[in-house]
Amino acid sequence: MTEQINYSTVGTCCKRIHVEIENDILKNVDFIGGCDGNHKGIRNLVIGMNINDVVAKLKGITCGARPTSCPDQLAVCLLSYLESKKTEVSV
């Protein structure tokens, strides 16, 4: 079953990220707003990857003087997803 996430970003030019996940594998990622070329590159690199691997590679990346970036916000989105899965299991 494919799960879909619509995540509102914080501190980036990109305003939202739409993610599709199936069995913890990224099936699609779309960034709304921000730098189209960079987002296409990120999308092509992470599609087909396990979400834990994506988080490990992207978490903590900054953009200039900003404490976050679009890749970091994707990692934050995926971490939020993983936390929600833990909550569902323990309920």
Contacts of 87 (CB under 8 A, 6+ apart): none
Q: Tens digits of per-residue pLDDT, 17-59? A: 999 999 999 999 999 999 999 999 999 999 999 999 999 999 9
The greatest distance separating any two alpha carbons of the chain, rounded to the nearest whole angstrom, comes to 41
Tokens of 86: 């833990």
Provide the number of structural domains found in the chain: 1
| pTM of the predicted structure, to 2 decimals | 0.93
Q: Which helix (H) or strand (E) holds 21?
A: strand 16-22
In angstroms, the CA 27 to CA 69 distance is: 21
Q: Tens digits of per-residue pLDDT, 61-82? A: 999 999 999 999 999 999 999 9
Which domain, by its residues, includes 46? 2-90
Neighbours of 49 (CB within 10 A): 15
Instruction: Identify the CATH number of the domain in which residue 37 sits.
Output: 3.90.1010
